[in-house]
Chain A
Amino acid sequence: MHLLGISGSLRRDSLNTKLLRAVAELLPDDVELELYEELAIVPPYDQDRDGEVPPVEVARLRDAIAGADAVLFATPEYNSSIPGQLKNAVDWASRPVRAASLTGKPVAVIGASTGMYGAVWAQAELRKSLATAGARVAEAEVAVGRAEGRFDDDGRLADDEIRDELREAVATLVGEARVGELVAA
């Protein structure tokens, strides 16, 4: 089972990217997580450019999502919502309607923030957008508040409770993807 991890934060020391790296370390043997690392270069959504040959960065984004059995998003919260660049990627991946890389794709959303609440508003908004885009949003949530204190100097997660929550979220997401495999078979 191949998961794609998309962090909504672009900075090098992103807490959400660290959170996805922590997920990669606690996966079952038959599950792998690939980190999508090109969010910064996805151009702004433009219907004029969304034709038969989309921008190459967009084609790569869509291929990465289409090639994954499920997608795990980790989002920070900017001004009570999701980062614009992350929303932009969701918009590209939601087209063409009904044949998009996100159509029917099992997805889950987790989030980390330096504030108390772990980006719960952003997570809710991202779930709403993903559901409208046609994705199959798994009932999973991990909200890591005060996240800067939960990673050690090497950027590794140093919180067993969060690790358990991540394990549970991944199990829910993988479960959704496995149902999808059975339906397709």
Chain B
Amino acid sequence: MTITEVARIVPAGNWQADRVHSSLGFAVRHMDVLPFDGGFADFEAELREGRITGTARVESIAAADENLTAHLLSPEFFDAERHPELRFVSRALRRDADEVVVVGDLTVKGQTRPVELRGTVGEPVEDPYGSRRLGIELTTTIDRTDFGLDWQAELPSGGQVVANDVTITARLELVEESG
């Protein structure tokens, strides 16, 4: 892809996510009744010369109960001790009708798999402090078992307690680096 083609999708320059106004969340269907929402509070993301990258600290996973947090960090789920970070690196960007498609590599629990994220890239806006800001919202659905997050239990009716499909959503408010 040429620089010109990338430039039609994301603006030039280097942009860093404003952590306070960005989020990295996931949703997974629980007990086959509702999505359970979680997220990672400690993460960084940037858009640099047309490439989107992000890392998140597994330890910062947000759950309302300390026992659940401990279970999610344990070897049975994320294994935070051996795999403390999640990582995403984009390989290519393209447009598909109204959507932006970002193809890249996602690393979870030490396993790297190609993923396709879809969403929107806004127009840069001047903020009151002399910087420009840009909103990027991307989402994808992965099968957690592809990354070795295999824990499962069966419902009496035969369904799954925690679905294998997990929807990941990144809402990034990026600030342009000065200079």
Contacts and interface: CB of A to CB of B under 8 A. Distances in A.
Contacts of A179: 82
A93 B49 CA distance: 50
Contact of B71 (A104, A132, A137, A183): A132
B70 A103 contact: yes
Interface string B44-74: 0000000000000000000000110111011
Contacts of B73: 98, 134
A180 B81 CA distance: 9
A134 B69 CA distance: 11
A134 B82 contact: no
A18 interface: no
B76 A131 contact: yes
The residue among B74, B82, B151 with the most chain A CB atoms within 10 A of its own CB is: B74
Interface in B70-116: 70-71, 73-76, 79, 81-82
B66 A97 contact: yes
A177 to B, nearest CB: 13
A136 interface: yes
Interface in A94-135: 97-98, 103-104, 131-132, 134-135
A137 B82 contact: no
Nearest to A98: B70
Interface in B9-23: none
Nearest to A106: B75
Contacts of A136: 75, 79
Contacts of B70: 97-98, 103, 134
A104 B66 contact: no
Nearest to A176: B75
A183 B66 CA distance: 25
Contacts of A103: 70, 74
Contacts of A132: 71, 74, 76
A104 B76 contact: no
Contacts of A104: 74-75, 81
Interface in A45-66: none
A6 B3 CA distance: 63
A107 to B, nearest CB: 10
A134 B81 CA distance: 11
A98 B81 CA distance: 11
The residue among B79, B82, B151 with the most chain A CB atoms within 10 A of its own CB is: B82
Contact of A98 (B66, B75, B79, B82): B66
A72 B71 CA distance: 21
Interface in A153-185: 179-180, 183
B70 to A, nearest CB: 5
The residue among B67, B69, B151 with the most chain A CB atoms within 10 A of its own CB is: B67
The residue among B71, B75, B79 with the most chain A CB atoms within 10 A of its own CB is: B75
Given A97-B69, A132-B71, 9 more contacts: A98-B73, A104-B74, A131-B75, A131-B76, A131-B151, A134-B75, A136-B79, A137-B76, A180-B81
Interface of A: 97-98, 103-104, 131-132, 134-137, 179-180, 183
Q: State the 3 A-B residue pairs at the shortest beta-carbon distance, nearest first.
A: A134-B74, A136-B75, A131-B76
